[in-house]
Chain A
C-alpha cells in the first residue's frame, strides 16, 4: 500500500512521504524537461550569433540583447504576415462555428431522416489525410474564377477565400461532432417549449440553443483559432504569392539562402509562437475543454 491515494479516504489519509516525494521528483523532472526546449529557444534568441557559434547554445551568456527580436520583426516584415494570419483565421473560425453549430443543431434537434449520415459525412471528412485532397483541390482552385475585387489572382487559387474555405470545410467536421455531443446534454424540452410558443427553426437555433452552447463555442473557438493559425500545409499548397502567406510560413523568410542565423530564427519562432501561448495561458480552460469535449461522451 505505498501510494493508494485512489480512494476518497486515501486523499485524506495522505500517502507515505517518500512515495510522494518520488512522484514529485519525477513529475518535476519531466515538466522541466518539457519546458527546456522552449526555454532554450528563448535563451538562444537573446544571444548574438558569434557568441553561440563559439560557445554553443548550452553555455553561459556574455551578452543578452533583444536585438534579434527587432530585426526578426523588421526583416521578416512580421506585422504584415500576422495580419495575413488573422485574415485567414478570424473569418475561418467564425464561419466554422456558425455552420457547425447549425448542422449540429439540425442533427440533434430537428427530426431529420438523414441526421446520422450527415454526422458521419462531416466527422469522417475531418479524419481524412489532407494529402488525399491536395491535388484535386489545387487543380479545382486554379479553375474557379473570382472577380478581381475578391482575388488579384482572379482564381480561388492564391486567394484567402480559398484557404478560408478549405479550413472551414475541414474543421466543420470536428466542430459538428463536438457540438452535437454537447447539444445532447441540453434537455429536449427547452426547444420543445420554444416550438410550442411558435418559434421557427431559426429562432430555436439562434435564440435558444446557441446561447446555451456558449461554453462549448468558446472552447472550440480557442482551439480552432490555434489550429488555423498554426496551419502550414494549406497555405503552402494553395497560395503562391509570398506576400500573402500566413506568419507560420513566413518564418522561412528568415532563413538565408546559404547561411541561416538560428538565433534570428529562434527570435522569429518565439514571436510567431507568442499568440498561441497567450491564448494558452489566458484561455487554457477553454482550450482543454475544446479538446476533451469531443472525447468524453457529452
Chain B
C-alpha cells in the first residue's frame, strides 16, 4: 500500500477551519471582483460572492457535524444565513434596478466611466 499524503487528507473528517478557508477564498475572489471589474454587473457578482463566503462561515460555525463543543453558534448560524440570503436577494434587486437605470441614462454600464462626479 502506498501512503499518499492525499490519502490521509481524505480519511480524516474536515473541521470548521476548512470551511472557513473556502469561505476566505470566496470572500477574497468577491472583493477582488468588486475592485477590478469595470462592468457594474460584474461588481454585483463580486458582492454575491462575498456574501456567500460569509454565509459559508455562518453555516460552518453553527454546524454540529464539524464541531461538537458547547461553544458553537448552533442554530443561530443557519438562521442568520437564511436571512442573509433573503437580504442579498433584496439588495441584488435594487442594485440591478439602479444599474439598469444608469444604463438607460448613460448608455453604458462601465463603472470606470462613472466619473462625472469627481470624488
Physical interaction between A and B: no
